[in-house]
Structure 1
């Protein structure tokens, strides 16, 4: 799959996939403003997912629209106590949500029931604010200008396709308030991950996603791996960041794990990567609204292993198994 180096539109005038957009990039170069509206209604999926990791907490938010529904979540996790606080909302039909047409082209907002989210980019930073009963956070994420991300267009057909941007290990700072107690998200010790998605999806899909970041052996190491959903497309969302430089892995990886015994280590192998993920918490979630249903196991823990001659250990992150009917 070719590396994209120039801006390109994801779609053609008739809403179908632009063949020139199929590839991967180190920067978010793809214009996705053709997703939404009358083209492909019901198959359009748009979201912003952010996860912030501090020494004491994991803070996540999701703003999404799947045409006929808006699906949002806020999750606050105490790493030491293994104590989560969650707020979720599925709004039928989709309303109370705003998403930018393309990456970085504007804010994202969601408001539903007792949940409120604001994602506000400005220059090289993005402010993340979220509130649910008993918990809220306000964090600023800064993007170093010379850091690579992994942006990929995944083509199932000319009518179903996805553009994803995975941005790993971004510096973060701010605070969270849980049950009235303030918790710092300290600069220099906290980092964030963005999963930005725009596309048109098949009705049933399953995916794996794993991410982690940390300093090991004197290097900043970021792990970005995926699986299942890209099989047969010629695209992968696999790569390793070493000191901010992306090393793309073009092959499908072999994932092995046992959700019946989620504490057992996961293995992810291929393309020069031999990684082990050791979980210490499983975030389970499920929704069944008939037409729309999902099941998620997102395990948090630590990555270790090797990429070529480079060994790494102690990278905090997650690995997940997700099934959607949407």
Structure 2
């Protein structure tokens, strides 16, 4: 059994409360941008080439299904993918495309404003901020989706800047557990998504990356006992930077968890329970479905990932010391390796 662990070290993070540019005019990381915020405040004014990475990943979950897609750009190429899971039958459908060179691709400079487009290739993707929320549309040979992710007034999300160096840095937004409604059509069968029980999560990334990296990410959301509860946890890729992407979102408010959490899981059996722990976090994640892939592309590019969908149970401590029970939150946990 192989276990991956890290020390549950506390880190000291600065909360950002005013709008700020991610980069200085010379393209390097703006020191004033390093920290975290409760709403998106960073403008991703990244210039030039050099493993410049932009992506928007959305996942919508309900009692019946998981629908997720990713729009990404890496300098000269763009990637596009979509994933559907029928939680009752285990049916899994995937659409994927790669655009070299990237064309008809655009990404917003600030989360929650503007649009994202991939208008060419096998998977056509658009996201648009509207008065009612974020509209997600996708079309591929296998799938077609039109979903509105509602914007909940006053609800907070987690934004974090991770500084590997002045030239290598990442800005991420994790907006977990927003109500969603719409339709997803997969292989000719249309499924309706209801805002009464479907939840959507955004993972937005803008940055300049090292050549290879390994990360963990986990998220889950639900309404146990009538409360709006979500968890957001990560690891490995932030180690040693002084920034972490860990938080409890309780009734719409972010409770920032400033410590490097310990992840324990079995890489020979992704279906075995995962453990994620720290001073304020004691979680077990129990998978019900695993999506695994190891893709090698032109040049030396590689993408290896194992994403497990299932339920979180355990406790997380809020800022005021309240021990919050998170039993039954549906979501995912993953290990991903990227080489560009």
- Scaled by the length of structure 1, what TM-score is found? 0.96
Q: Deviations over 1:58-83 (max 9, x none)?
A: 11111110102101101111111111
Structure 2 residues without counterparts, runs of 5 or longer: 1-12, 318-322
| Structure 2 match to 1:123 | 131
Q: Deviations over 1:142-167 (max 9, x none)?
A: 12121110000000001100000000
Which of 22, 25, 28 is the matching residue for 2:37? 25
1:250–1:271 Cα contact (<8 Å) kept:
no
1:221–1:242 Cα contact (<8 Å) kept:
yes
Which of 290, 296, 304 is the matching residue for 1:288? 296
| 1:204-283 aligned within 5 A | 204-283=212-291
| Structure 1 match to 2:69 | 61
SS at match of 1:217: helix
| Structure 2 match to 1:35 | 46
Which of 321, 329, 336 is the matching residue for 1:315? 329
Q: Deviations over 1:278-314 (max 9, x none)?
A: 0011111222123221101010000010113222211
CA shift at 1:10, angstroms? 0.5
The CA distance in 1 between the partners of 2:120 and 2:190, in whole Å, is: 24
Structure 1 residues without counterparts, runs of 5 or longer: none
1:124–1:145 Cα contact (<8 Å) kept:
no
SS at match of 2:239: coil
CA shift at 1:124, angstroms? 4.8
The CA distance in 1 between the partners of 2:269 and 2:301, in whole Å, is: 27
| Structure 1 match to 2:28 | 16
CA shift at 1:137, angstroms? 1.2
Higher strand content, 1 or 2: 1
| 1:126-205 aligned within 5 A | 126-205=134-213
| Structure 2 match to 1:2 | 14
Taking a change above 3 Å as real, the CA distance of residues 124 and 20 of structure 1, as seen in their structure-2 partners, is farther
The CA distance in 1 between the partners of 2:208 and 2:279, in whole Å, is: 28
SS at match of 1:20: helix
Taking a change above 3 Å as real, the CA distance of residues 124 and 231 of structure 1, as seen in their structure-2 partners, is farther
Taking a change above 3 Å as real, the CA distance of residues 112 and 291 of structure 1, as seen in their structure-2 partners, is farther
Greater CA drift, 96-105 or 272-281: 96-105
2:311–2:328 Cα contact (<8 Å) kept:
yes
Greater CA drift, 105-114 or 260-269: 105-114
Cα RMSD of the aligned pairs, angstroms, is 1.2
| Structure 1 match to 2:7 | none
CA shift at 1:95, angstroms? 2.0
CA shift at 1:54, angstroms? 2.0
The runs of 4+ residues in structure 1 deviating greater than 4 Å are none
1:175–1:183 Cα contact (<8 Å) kept:
yes
The CA distance in 2 between the partners of 1:12 and 1:123, in whole Å, is: 32
